[in-house]
A and B are shown apart, each in its own frame.
Chain A
Amino acid sequence: MSTIVTLPDQLTATLPKRSYLNEEYGLKSWLLTGDHKRIAILYLISITFFFFIGGAMAGLIRLELLTPPSDLMAADTYNKLFTMHGIIMVFLFLVPSVPATIGNFLIPIMVGAKDLAFPKINLLSWYLYVVGGILVLAALTLGGVDTGWTFTTPLSTHYLNTHVITAGLAIFVAGFSSIFTGLNFIVTVHRMRAPGMTWFRLPLFVWSHYAASILMVLGTPVLAITLVLVILERVMGIGVFDPAKGGDPLLFQHLFWFYSHPAVYIMILPGMGVISEVISTFSRKRVFGYTAVAFSSVAIAVFGFFVWAHHMFIMGVSNYSALVFSLLTMLVAVPSAIKIFNWAATLYKGSITFETPMLYAFGFMGLFTIGGLTGVFLGSMGMDIHLTETYFIVAHFHFVMVGGMLMAFLAGIHFWWPKMTGRMYPEGLSKLAALITFVGFNLTFFPQFILGYLGMPRRYAAYPPEFQVLNVLSTAGATVLGVGYLLPMLYLVWSLKYGKIAGANPWQATGLEWQIQSPPLTENFVETPVVDYEAYDYEWQANKTKHEVQTVG
């Protein structure tokens, strides 16, 4: 099978003498760093830690659901498990996954800057994330929370005596981390671009992060104030969500979903940016309809703010508002479809090679499409009333979040790992991991569509015996999926010491990040780059490689 991987001669190759990794040594140099690349690595370690905690909880959930009765744990323990799984995975893994790690590392380099606009605020955002994470762990160890990750009122405000306030504070703090990251990205893209780096020369990765940052900046404060109101309601009984005092629990739903639906796009848009880069590189073609793909990111961000009430179709919103929100929900499918079709068109007549990032990208395209289209089912009111609060919903958003976003995250990590570390991972093993992940994912979540359609409700520790076969399949799949996630963790760590030297541009890609050494210097560029070529111009890349003079020393 053909490959585009081009590595330097391993007998003579070494890592660069100076890079961001060895500029300074010691824990303090990392904890007080202003370098966006080091902060990205800090984030990567942190989110991986929380991913495996959240993943362990998912494993326990699936183990409980192996048999119909609630036998492995008490029902309220199960409630706490799925709540903590949701909180950790959404707020501590998915939201920061691509933007705070890969985005943090790459956006300044991709726009030709030496750093993000506000390096200290970037570091502050990581500290806020850590404080949020510690508060979540505190809530967990003190006894947990069982509201569901959605903090539904009046359950969360009146009827539970678990650690809602601690968890709410955790998300409040972590939310500001997200706001600062988004703010930094927007300002960087506007003000820090290199000469010649026009808006339409920006890689699509930057466009999608820009769109996601708009959502972070405008949506997250609404979540923050909502959680403040929940906390005030619990502590002081202010009555804002309490009908007995003239409040309205549905107001909470409006406020919460005003953030939490756009949050889906905060999670998925950066993933779409990764896929654009990977598909283009491994089919050696400019992304088909660059402008359409760029604007579709912005369109998703804008439409994303006007669909929140589709989470409330069964909660008594008026028929008219349900109708309008149903229509608007369908509209979001349009820019999402533009992306999928344009990626497919990019592949058409491309010189496709099947390196690991590309395998994950293919996984993304298939699984996200299923996740997205089942979202259209759920946006239709008739279907929604039948399917909401069933396992169909669980399957739908896991197809989008795990099948889509996590696949994109892994695609991105495998694609830019050589740039981040200067070393390659074992290619055969990584392809195997991508395959295992894909099989494990489908085995885990596809049966859940059928379970939901048949009427199995979500968030119960027990279920009728006739649902067992599909649940056993799902639990078996989760085991396979677990192996699929553990493998990259192991071989990526292994590659830090034993991986082959990657060189500056192992994929022969066109982005600015591939024109500098791997791992990059602290200041990214020796001289400010002047951009005089379009994004994804492989002809320019080929000419450059042909005439390249290597400076060594």
Chain B
Amino acid sequence: LDSQTIATHPEEEHAKHPPYLHHHFATVEQQKETSTFGMWLFLLTEIMFFGGLFCAYLIYQLVLPGFRRRQPLTVDRAGCDEYGGADLLELHHGHGRLLGRTPAAQGFDRMAAGDNFAGLGVPWHQGD
């Protein structure tokens, strides 16, 4: 004899659900809400994953409004090595002072003076 309460007919209970409804959901609505919620949450993790890229984009957009519309975008490879876009992150975090005036910071100085933007070969103009 079993020592505690057990299921009387669990197999039937378990097999009751229709094929389009997973066994652990009570209703189709619950199933749909769950998958939608899960997908949004996963997208949130992706924002954290690619957050650096999004930040870089926002900073570019902030200092160079409409930079995406400049065509053609000719990238100076040598300049890119020296003043890579990742420097923006570094500047964003405000540690330029530790390293002296970093190449990126110098790029910003020149940018402010109307020179190329961060060595990317993109001419700097205020606004469009």
Q: Which residues of A contact B (CB under 8 A)?
A: 8-9, 12-18, 108, 113-119, 179, 183, 186-187, 190-192, 217-222, 224-225, 229, 238-240, 243, 245-248, 250-251, 254-255, 316, 318, 501, 503-504, 517-518, 521-523, 526-528, 550-553
Contacts and interface: CB of A to CB of B under 8 A. Distances in A.
Contact of A550 (B5, B48, B82, B97): B5
B5 A225 contact: no
Interface stretch (B38-46, B64-72, B109-117, B120-128): B38-46
A16 B1 contact: no
Nearest to B104: A246
A183 B4 contact: no
Given A114-B24, A248-B93, A218 B45 contact: yes
B37 interface: yes
> What are the 5 tightest A-B residue pairs by CB atom distance, in nearest-first order?
A221-B49, A13-B3, A115-B24, A221-B48, A114-B24
B49 A225 contact: yes
B23 A239 contact: no
Given A190-B37, A523-B14, A248 B95 contact: yes
Given A114-B24, A183-B38, A526-B10, A243 B99 contact: yes
Contacts of A551: 5-6, 8
B38 A504 contact: no
B51 A225 contact: yes
Contacts of A250: 93, 95, 98
Contacts of B95: 248, 250-251, 316
B13 A527 contact: yes
B76 interface: no
B90 A248 contact: yes
Given A191-B33, A238-B86, A246-B102, A217 B41 contact: yes
A8 B24 CA distance: 31
Contact of A221 (B6, B45, B99): B45
Contacts of B83: 246
B30 to A, nearest CB: 6
18 contacts: A14-B2, A16-B2, A117-B24, A192-B30, A218-B45, A218-B48, A225-B51, A225-B52, A229-B52, A238-B84, A247-B90, A316-B95, A517-B6, A523-B14, A526-B7, A526-B13, A550-B5, A552-B6
Contacts of A116: 24
A91 B10 CA distance: 39
A218 B44 CA distance: 8
B84 A501 contact: no
- What interface size band does chain B fall in? 35 or more
Interface of B: 1-8, 10, 13-14, 23-24, 26, 30, 33-34, 37-38, 41-42, 44-46, 48-52, 81-84, 86-87, 89-90, 93-95, 97-99, 102-104
A217 B44 contact: yes
A522 to B, nearest CB: 8
B10 A239 contact: no
A535 B101 CA distance: 59
Contacts of A187: 34, 37-38, 41
Contacts of B87: 246-247
Nearest to A187: B38
Nearest to B92: A251
B121 to A, nearest CB: 16
Given A239-B81, A240-B86, A243-B102, A8 B3 contact: yes
Nearest to B26: A528
Q: Is the interface of B mostly helix, strand, loop or mixed?
A: helix
> A187, A517, A528: which has the most chain B beta carbons within 10 Å?
A187
Contact of A224 (B5, B49, B82): B49
Given A239-B86, A550-B4, A523 B23 contact: yes
Contacts of A504: 4-5
B51 A222 contact: yes
B1 A14 contact: yes
A186 B1 contact: no
A240 B81 CA distance: 11
A254 B93 contact: yes
B26 to A, nearest CB: 6
A117 B45 contact: no
Nearest to A552: B1
A517 B37 CA distance: 32
Contacts of A220: 45
Given A239-B81, A504-B4, A517-B6, A247 B86 contact: yes
A448 to B, nearest CB: 32
Contacts of A527: 13
Contacts of B1: 12, 14, 552-553
Nearest to A190: B37
Contacts of A117: 24, 34, 38
Contact of B10 (A240, A523, A528): A523
B49 A186 contact: no
Nearest to B33: A191
B84 A239 contact: yes
A240 B53 CA distance: 13
Given A187-B38, A248-B93, 13 more contacts: A12-B3, A116-B24, A119-B24, A183-B42, A218-B48, A221-B45, A245-B82, A246-B102, A250-B95, A251-B95, A503-B3, A517-B6, A523-B14
Contacts of B8: 526, 551, 553
B127 to A, nearest CB: 27
Contacts of B24: 108, 113-117, 119, 192, 523
A238 B6 CA distance: 62
Given A225-B50, A239-B86, A246-B86, A517 B34 contact: no
A217 B45 contact: yes
B78 to A, nearest CB: 12
A222 B53 CA distance: 12
Nearest to B84: A239
A9 B2 CA distance: 11
A16 B6 contact: yes
A318 B95 CA distance: 9
